[in-house]
């Protein structure tokens, strides 16, 4: 048994099972706590196409959002997502599903919930790491040179150097040191690690600073045609650049004119906006051709799982990958995730 004391009894448990798609969202597709799940990466052909998964046991990774604050592990980011984005949206989602009236505050909460879903998935984590690997070093060099130049100019004007700012949290992502040079001067060196801590900082920045600057779009709720339903996935928020049914991609943004943003909210209801354009009336049912295309887009945007009440042809639209090596490699990388990220975070604090 691990050691404990009376004080620990009053401490909240560390949330280590971090659901990147909240259970309160996925339960709209579930029956008795089980959700029909199609897995896009499997270890062998014998794995059934569809399985009933427990809501507790799907769309999560251990310690996805945990990080080290000093010497202690903290789940404050997971709790922040819960209190600021998930819980406030629960009533709004319930009203959508029951087709009750939505007030402006309900729409605001739905949009905030959608934005949080956009940034918090493993698919976005991989995209973030790829982008940072391509651009961060050059950006750091440019920023360091500019900062040193600004400091030298301030000293030359006999001005006090500014200290402390709202970017203190961002500075904690970097280890700054000065390497002495032979001529008596020094060279400023900045080091960082592209990983969990930086990703969490970026998510918080997007959801606090950037989201507040996005113009208010006109949103609506679209219905699935009678006898049909919307699927969803583990990468459910779609930012669509759309030209026609053969030409579209998922590189749209929250402020890109004519871009579409889609989020299924239940098998019958889908949140939608077309940026800069007049929305469909709430409750509009798209014609079959549009519905079929939107359903296909939702399935194509999935990362590792599709969830649906009507499986039918989903495996034909998006054939799964059967690859034991890829499956084992991904499993191993997630098993090592917390240990490797903690190691990196400790290194940065030294």
Under the banding of pLDDT at 50, 70 and 90, the label for residue 210 is: confident
Under the banding of pLDDT at 50, 70 and 90, the label for residue 64 is: very high
Selected residue with higher pLDDT from 162 and 345: 345
Q: Which pLDDT does position 348 carry in this prediction?
A: 78
Here the tokens at position 310 are: 């009507």
Give, in order, the Cα–Cα distances in Å from 307 to each of 114, 156, 164, 210, 236: 17, 62, 47, 30, 10
Instruction: Work out the average pLDDT over 196-210.
Output: 92
Tally of CB atoms within 10 A around 21: 22
The sign of the dihedral angle between the CA atoms of 137, 140, 145, 148 is: negative
Does the structure show a pLDDT above 60 at 142?
yes
Tally of CB atoms within 10 A around 69: 12
Of 347, 334, 345, which is closest to residue 41 (Cα–Cα)? 334
Q: Which pLDDT does position 94 carry in this prediction?
A: 98
Does the structure show a pLDDT above 60 at 166?
no
Q: Which pLDDT does position 6 carry in this prediction?
A: 47
Within a 13 Å sphere around the CA of 340, how many CA atoms are in the beta-carbon half?
Answer: 11
Under the banding of pLDDT at 50, 70 and 90, the label for residue 14 is: very high
Q: Which pLDDT does position 2 carry in this prediction?
A: 44
Under the banding of pLDDT at 50, 70 and 90, the label for residue 242 is: very high
Q: Which pLDDT does position 347 carry in this prediction?
A: 84
User: Domain ranges in the chain?
Assistant: 36-128+197-349, 142-193
Question: Mean pLDDT lowest for which of 43-47, 107-111, 208-212, 222-226?
Answer: 208-212
Q: Which pLDDT does position 272 carry in this prediction?
A: 97
Tally of CB atoms within 10 A around 191: 11
Does the structure show a pLDDT above 90 at 24?
yes
Q: Beta partners for 232? A: 307
Per-residue model confidence as pLDDT tens digits over 73-91: 999 999 999 999 999 999 9
Q: What percentage of residues in the chain have a pLDDT greater than 90?
A: 69
Q: What is the 3-state secondary structure (H, E, C) of the chain?
A: CCCCCHHHHCCCCCCCEEECCCHHHHHHHCECCEEEEEECEECCCCCCCEEEEEHHHCCEEECCCCEEECCEEECHHHHHHHHHHHHHHHHHHHHHHHCCCCCHHHHHHHHHHHHHHHHCCHHHHHHHHHHHHHHHHHHHHHHHHHHHHHHHHHHHCCCCCCCCCCCHHHHCCCEEEEEECCCCCEEEEEECCCCHHHHHHHHHHHHHHHHHHCCCCCCEEEECCCCCCCCEECCCCEEEEEEECCEEECCCCCCCCCCEEEEECCCCEEEEEECCCCCCCCCCCCCHHHHHHHHHHHHHCCCCEEECCCCCCHHHHCCCEECHHHHHHHHHHHHHHHHHHHHHHHHHHC
Angle between helices 122-156 and 196-205 (to 10 degrees): 80
Does the structure show a pLDDT above 70 at 45?
yes
Instruction: Work out the average pLDDT over 330-342.
Output: 96
Q: Which pLDDT does position 185 carry in this prediction?
A: 64
Distance (Å, whole) CA 241 – CA 186: 48
Q: What percentage of residues in the chain have a pLDDT greater than 70?
A: 81
Selected residue with higher pLDDT from 133 and 179: 133
Q: Which pLDDT does position 158 carry in this prediction?
A: 75
Q: Average pLDDT, whole number, for the chain? A: 88
Under the banding of pLDDT at 50, 70 and 90, the label for residue 1 is: very low
Selected residue with higher pLDDT from 346 and 141: 346
Instruction: Work out the average pLDDT over 245-250.
Output: 94
Q: Which pLDDT does position 12 carry in this prediction?
A: 73
């Amino acid at each position: 048994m691990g050691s404990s004391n009376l004080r620990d009894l009053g401490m909240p448990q560390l949330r280590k099972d971090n659901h990147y798609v909240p259970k309160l969202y996925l339960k709209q597709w579930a029956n008795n706590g089980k959700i029909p799940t199609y897995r896009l990466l499997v270890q062998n052909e014998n794995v059934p196409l569809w399985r009933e998964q427990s809501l507790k046991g799907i769309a999560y990774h251990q310690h996805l959002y945990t990080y080290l604050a000093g010497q202690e592990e903290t789940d404050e980011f997971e709790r922040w997502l819960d209190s600021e984005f998930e819980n406030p949206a629960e009533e709004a989602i319930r009203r959508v599903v029951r087709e009750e009236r939505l007030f402006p505050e309900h729409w605001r909460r739905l949009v905030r919930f959608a934005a949080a879903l956009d940034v918090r998935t493993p698919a976005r984590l991989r995209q973030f790491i790829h982008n940072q690997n391509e651009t961060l070093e050059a950006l750091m060099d440019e920023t360091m040179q500019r900062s040193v130049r600004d400091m030298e100019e301030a000293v030359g004007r006999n001005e006090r150097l500014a200290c402390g700012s709202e970017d203190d949290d961002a500075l904690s992502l970097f280890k700054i040191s000065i390497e002495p040079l032979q001529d008596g001067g020094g060279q400023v060196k900045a080091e960082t690690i592209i990983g969990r801590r930086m990703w969490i900082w970026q998510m918080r920045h997007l959801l606090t600073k950037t989201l507040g600057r996005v113009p208010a779009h006109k949103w609506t709720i679209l219905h699935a045609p009678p006898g049909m339903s919307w699927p969803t996935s583990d990468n459910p928020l779609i930012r669509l650049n759309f030209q026609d049914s053969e030409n579209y991609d998922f590189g749209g943004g929250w402020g890109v004119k004519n871009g579409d943003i889609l989020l299924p909210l239940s098998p019958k209801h889908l949140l939608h906006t077309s940026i800069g354009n007049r929305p469909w009336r709430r409750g509009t049912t798209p014609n079959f051709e549009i519905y079929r295309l939107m359903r296909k887009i939702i399935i194509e945007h999935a990362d590792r799982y599709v969830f649906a009440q009507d499986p039918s042809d989903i495996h034909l639209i998006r054939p799964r990958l059967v690859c034991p090596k890829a499956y084992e490699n991904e499993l191993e990388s997630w098993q090592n995730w917390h240990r490797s990220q903690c190691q990196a975070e400790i290194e940065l604090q030294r």
